[in-house]
């Protein structure tokens, strides 16, 4: 079972090694396995959304970063607003402090499994727990349609913002998952746990307060 | 078909509490795109039985039985290709390597007699199988789907796939799939022991060992103990 460490601008200094490992695993996955991003000379994958507004959940097991999630307030520039706004034809691009965009999730190859009780589900559990703790009401964003049944298996409700669409040979959909106590209970039940798997070290940052800041910042 | 029909379907998807009503609704909705039949199933890999993997069976009467009995899944190009790609595809676009075999052409010929001539398939993640596929079938000689219609079909397929996972995974995980004894028998098989050797190790009759491995094979819908071992490892039920 992973423990998911909350890492953001406030406490990043406590996680230098883990964060570097996370960037290297991202490079393995998004550059070499997915081919979505060009190789980076330093072997670390970063993009324009790795800013101080982002909060990372690093899933650590046996002293390794085995899985991750990046959460960005939708009030900040995020992947859906900057790259895929055309995929929200029903609702428009959601911009709400209590809606977080969830991206940059991978699972290292030796921790992937077909069953439901695996590292991916543990990460999902961590995201739901964190989101509920922080008072969020939805998490999501651009996702591969292929993986959507996983949300169903967790009994999560995912609201589509538009139709699925093929981009660069892959099918995606923009959808946001409802955050609530029931969703956390159902994923915990599948994993057979009733305790927290989130770890917080050092100074913390309230996700909602940070998200609110983006709205209050003077127009540029 | 207009986009709002798709969103109405998604809305209804959540209200279905049984697979039969979801199947009926989906069949009714995709008729507007020219599809009369559909199947949602786990994709069988070499030798796996198809029947236990089927989650929505909207095939014409007689064809499903025929397909199972003749073990068409092993030679049908559409079925084989469904295990090899993650992307939605037209049946007509299955590479010749799999579609142009004698076996696959025979299946296509028989299917035509049941009014299944062309189709569109959407592979998806499955938490129980290698992956699953929702395959839509039409009696038209070829599927004339506009890009917009493909988008509509994939969107509905994804939500149907999500709903079926929500309906079918009521058991808490897969822990109940194998008994402790069945796991033990598979573990010894993984270690290279014959049933006779396993029976001596466990101090039970050989036929008891065989009975447990048979139960494990049935649980996965596979025909050999080797396959059952592979499945159990893949699903992390045993850790040899």
Nearest to B14 among A114, A157, A163 (CB): A157
For residue A126, which of A61, A64, A175, A63 has the smallest C-alpha distance? A61
- Does the residue A220 lie in any domain? no
A9: domain CATH number? 3.40.630.30
Residue A113 at interface with chain B, using a CB cutoff of 8 Å: yes
Per DSSP, what are the bridge partners of residue A140? A101, A176
- Does the residue A70 lie in any domain? yes
For residue B9, which of B34, B42, B40, B32 has the smallest C-alpha distance? B32
pLDDT category, B234, cuts 50, 70, 90?
confident
CATH code of the domain occupying B175-234: 1.10.10.10
Query: Tens digit of pLDDT for each residue in A85-98?
Result: 999 999 999 999 99
Query: Tens digit of pLDDT for each residue in A48-58?
Result: 999 999 999 99
Cα–Cα dist A83/A53, whole Å: 18
Cα–Cα dist A73/A209, whole Å: 10
ipTM for this prediction: 0.90
Cα–Cα dist B194/B209, whole Å: 10
- Whether pLDDT at B172 is above 60: no
Query: In this predicted structure, what is the pLDDT of residue B147?
Result: 92
Residue A160 at interface with chain B, using a CB cutoff of 8 Å: yes
CB spacing of B129 vs A113 below 8 angstroms: no
Query: Tens digit of pLDDT for each residue in A151-209?
Result: 999 999 999 999 999 988 899 999 999 999 999 999 999 999 999 999 999 999 999 99
Taking CA atoms, B61 is separated from B57, B110, B120, in Å, by 10, 13, 20
- Does the residue A218 lie in any domain? no
- Does the residue A219 lie in any domain? no
- Does the residue A54 lie in any domain? yes
CB spacing of B132 vs A115 below 8 angstroms: no
- Does the residue A32 lie in any domain? yes
Residues on chain B bordering chain A, Cβ-to-Cβ distance under 8 angstroms: 3, 6-7, 10, 14, 86-88, 123-130, 132, 150-152, 154-155, 158-159, 161-166, 169, 172-175, 234-237
CB spacing of A117 vs B236 below 8 angstroms: yes
Q: How many folded domains does chain A comprise?
A: 1
- Does the residue A142 lie in any domain? yes
- Candidates B33, B127, B175: best to mutate against A (most CBs of A within 10 A) is B127
Number of residue pairs across A and B with CB atoms under 8 Å?
102
CB spacing of A116 vs B7 below 8 angstroms: no
Mean pLDDT (chain B) is 91
- Specify the DSSP class assigned to residue A168: T
Range of the domain at A120: 3-212
CB spacing of B166 vs A114 below 8 angstroms: no
- Does the residue A108 lie in any domain? yes
What kind of fold does domain B3-168 have according to CATH? Beta-Lactamase (3.30.450)
């Amino acid at each position: 079972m992973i423990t998911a460490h909350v890492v953001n601008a406030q406490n990043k200094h406590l996680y230098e090694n883990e964060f570097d490992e996370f960037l290297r695993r991202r490079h393995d996955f998004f550059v070499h396995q997915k081919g979505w991003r060009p190789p980076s000379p330093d072997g670390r994958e970063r993009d324009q959304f790795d800013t101080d507004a982002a909060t990372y959940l690093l899933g650590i097991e046996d002293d390794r970063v085995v899985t991750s999630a990046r959460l960005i307030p939708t009030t900040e520039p995020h992947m859906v607003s900057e790259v895929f706004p055309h995929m929200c034809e029903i609702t428009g691009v959601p911009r709400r402090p209590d809606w977080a965009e969830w991206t940059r999730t991978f699972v290292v190859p030796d921790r992937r499994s077909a069953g439901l009780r695996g590292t991916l589900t543990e990460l999902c559990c961590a995201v739901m727990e964190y989101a509920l703790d922080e008072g969020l009401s939805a998490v999501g964003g651009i996702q591969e349609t292929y993986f959507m049944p996983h949300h169903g298996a967790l009994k999560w409700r995912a609201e589509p913002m538009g139709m699925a669409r093929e981009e660069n040979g892959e099918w995606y959909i923009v959808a946001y998952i409802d955050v609530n106590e029931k969703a956390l209970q159902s994923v915990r039940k599948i994993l057979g746990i009733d305790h927290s798997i989130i770890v917080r070290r050092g100074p913390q940052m309230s996700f909602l307060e940070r998200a609110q800041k983006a709205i209050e910042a003077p127009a540029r | 078909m207009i986009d709002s029909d798709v969103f109405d379907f998604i809305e209804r998807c959540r209200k279905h509490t049984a697979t039969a009503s979801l199947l009926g609704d989906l069949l009714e909705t995709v008729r507007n795109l020219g599809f009369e039949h559909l199947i949602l199933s786990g994709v069988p890999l070499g030798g796996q039985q198809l029947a236990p993997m089927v989650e929505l069976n909207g095939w014409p009467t007689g064809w499903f039985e025929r397909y199972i009995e003749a073990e068409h899944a092993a030679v049908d190009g559409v079925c084989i290709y469904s295990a090899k790609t993650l992307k939605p595809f037209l049946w007509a676009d299955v590479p010749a390597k799999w579609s142009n075999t004698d076996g696959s052409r025979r299946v296509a010929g028989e299917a035509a007699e049941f009014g299944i001539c062309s189709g569109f398939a959407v592979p998806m993640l499955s938490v129980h199988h290698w992956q699953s596929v929702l395959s839509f079938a039409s009696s038209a000689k070829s599927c004339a789907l506009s890009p917009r219609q493909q988008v509509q079909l994939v969107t509905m397929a994804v939500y149907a796939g999500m709903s079926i996972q929500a309906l079918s995974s009521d058991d808490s995980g897969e822990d109940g799939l194998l008994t402790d004894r069945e796991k033990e028998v598979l573990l010894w098989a993984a270690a290279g022991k014959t049933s006779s050797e396993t029976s001596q190790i466990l101090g039970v009759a050989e036929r008891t060992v065989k009975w447990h491995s048979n139960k494990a094979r049935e649980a996965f819908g596979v025909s050999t103990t080797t396959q059952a071992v592979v499945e159990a490892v893949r699903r992390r039920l045993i850790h040899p």
